[in-house]
Amino acid sequence: MTFSRLLRTLALLLVMGAATYLMISLVAPSSRRLVYGIDRRTGIVRTVRREIAFLPPHEFFLLSFDRRDDRGGSAQYDGVIRVFSKDGTPVAIEYRLCFGLAGGRIIGQSSLIEEGWNAWIRSRVSEAANGVAQQIANDDLISPGRGFDAQRDLFRGAVTAHLATSGLVATAFEIARIDVDRNAIRHVDRTLASPTARAISDSPLAAAPSSAHAWYNNNGAGLRGKRRIAEAEQSARKAIEIDPGPPAPYFNLAVILVDRQQYDAADAAFLQSMAHGLGAADRHLADFAALYRQRSLAPRAVALLIKGRELFPGSALIAADLGASLADAGRDAEAIPELERALALEPTSTQTLNNLGLVYANRNEYARALDYWNRSLSIDPRQPQIREVVRAVRARL
């Protein structure tokens, strides 16, 4: 009897809830986003504007938008696409699209559901914009003084016509910016500008296992490899306490202190390792600075390498890494003379030549950038990334 009464109560609550939802769905206004429900089988679009409505997710692919277009469109989307000019230069177009529905149906809804809205709409815009861009010379495309507004109109017309084939009406297509796609030029920046030194974090300095000092030094390196950083620091310090003479525990302690983000103490420990006779000190200093750069600490790398320049004025490695680190920190004006100095010390360094090209490209001095990259390719033609960026920039001139 009690169980039967409980079931009746639950059923009554369920009916009341459904009735309440139905009343709200049909009558009450809502501040919810604009929602498109695209029928997964037919592509027919149901637009939800003012009401709360239930669109079964197994039947409809749902799209919602935060903003509405007051000029007649249903929603708007901002984005950046990449196209290629007639000269082959990569060009970035920043745009805003407002759209409505043509006939209430999306053509090709299967690809939309698979790709997602952002990727789908970007592909439609890119297809149309590329068709226009590949008919326009680079200078005419990106220079405000050479028919820039006319190019906007060409893009608007092409995008509007192409979107119509997918069931959308572009009520507005605004171009905020057309410019050389610097990301396409700089995509090799991280690889080229970073020193090609060994991974210092994976190469602790070992000591011959013939004493307690050596045991603690090597144990500290092993503990660090297991990410037991606090214990690793204690072991390295114990090695120094037993025998403060050898450089290895100071060096390993410096790396451990970087892990602990105690950077001033890490620098001091590293300089102590040098004072105690660290071998190949200029290479180790460059490696240690690279460890900072790997952690996006370019200013610390620069400060350490400046000390390295004072200690090793004839080191091409220190000069090259200092120039690259200065460029990493956005200090191009200081990077150029340092990279030039590195090139004077080692004229056949393709890494330095490539970095000089990148710095000049960042300054929009493409002719000088090409000069350095061409010199680099004449030394080592097997650089596909450099060849790719040379092709893209050559059309810019």
**Integer Cα distance of 391 and 388 in angstroms:** 5
**Per-residue DSSP letters for 13-27?**
HHHHHHHHHHHHHHT
**Integer Cα distance of 350 and 192 in angstroms:** 10
Query: 179: which strand partners?
Result: 92
How is residue 48 written in tokens? 């939800």
Q: What is the mean pLDDT of residues 353-381?
A: 87
Q: Which helix (H) or strand (E) holds 98?
A: strand 90-101
Q: What is the mean pLDDT of residues 41-51?
A: 72
Q: In what order do the strands lie in the sheet with 90-101?
A: 75-84, 90-101, 168-180
- Residue 21 pLDDT grade (very low, low, confident, very high; cuts 50, 70, 90): low
Q: Which tens digits make up the pLDDT trace of 288-307?
A: 888 888 888 888 889 999 99
Residues listed for the chain: 397
- Residue 337 pLDDT grade (very low, low, confident, very high; cuts 50, 70, 90): very high
Q: What is the mean pLDDT of residues 362-384?
A: 86
Residue 195: predicted pLDDT: 39
Please state, as a whole number, how many other Cβ atoms lie within 10 Å of the Cβ of residue 82: 16
Do residues 289 and 321 lie in contact, with contact meaning Cβ atoms separated by under 8 Å? yes
- Residue 202 pLDDT grade (very low, low, confident, very high; cuts 50, 70, 90): very low
**Integer Cα distance of 323 and 302 in angstroms:** 9
Half-sphere CA count of 156, side-chain side, radius 13 A? 14
Do residues 306 and 271 lie in contact, with contact meaning Cβ atoms separated by under 8 Å? no
- Residue 341 pLDDT grade (very low, low, confident, very high; cuts 50, 70, 90): very high
At residue 235, the 3 state secondary structure works out as: helix
pLDDT of 197 over the 50 cut? no
Helix segments in the chain, DSSP class H = 2-26, 109-115, 117-133, 138-142, 148-164, 182-186, 189-193, 212-225, 229-242, 248-259, 263-275, 281-294, 298-311, 316-328, 332-345, 350-362, 366-379, 384-394
Please state, as a whole number, how many other Cβ atoms lie within 10 Å of the Cβ of residue 21: 12
Query: 83: which strand partners?
Result: 91
How is residue 25 written in tokens? 């769905």
Q: Which tens digits make up the pLDDT trace of 117-131?
A: 777 787 788 878 877
Q: What is the mean pLDDT of residues 266-285?
A: 87
* Cβ within 8 Å of residue 333, ≥6 positions away: none
Lowest mean pLDDT among 32-41, 198-207, 226-235, 369-378: 198-207
**Integer Cα distance of 219 and 216 in angstroms:** 5
pLDDT of 148 over the 80 cut? no
Q: In 3D, which of 169, 177, 197 has the Cα closest to residue 82? A: 177
Q: In 3D, which of 278, 272, 329, 280 has the Cα closest to residue 300? A: 329
Q: In 3D, which of 377, 357, 351 has the Cα closest to residue 197? A: 351
pTM for the whole thing? 0.50
Residue 46: predicted pLDDT: 77
pLDDT of 189 over the 60 cut? no
At residue 77, the 3 state secondary structure works out as: strand
Q: What is the mean pLDDT of residues 17-37?
A: 58
How is residue 224 written in tokens? 């660090």
Q: In what order do the strands lie in the sheet with 45-48?
A: 45-48, 34-39, 60-65
Higher pLDDT: 187 or 60? It is 60
Q: Which tens digits make up the pLDDT trace of 304-325?
A: 999 999 989 999 999 999 998 8
pLDDT of 188 over the 50 cut? no
Q: Which tens digits make up the pLDDT trace of 343-355?
A: 999 998 888 998 9
How is residue 214 written in tokens? 């050596």
pLDDT of 31 over the 50 cut? no
How is residue 211 written in tokens? 């004493």
Q: CA 275 from chain center: how many Å?
A: 39
**Integer Cα distance of 115 and 289 in angstroms:** 42
Residue 94: predicted pLDDT: 81
C-alpha distances (whole Å) from 221 to each of 241, 262, 386 are 16, 18, 38
Q: Which tens digits make up the pLDDT trace of 157-171?
A: 888 888 888 878 887
Instruction: Output the CA angle 333-354-380, nearest 5 degrees.
Output: 155
pLDDT of 234 over the 60 cut? yes
Q: What is the mean pLDDT of residues 145-149?
A: 55
Parallel/antiparallel/unpaired status of strands 168-180 and 90-101 = antiparallel
Angle, to 10 degrees, between the axis of helix 350-362 and the axis of helix 316-328?
Answer: 20
- Residue 140 pLDDT grade (very low, low, confident, very high; cuts 50, 70, 90): low
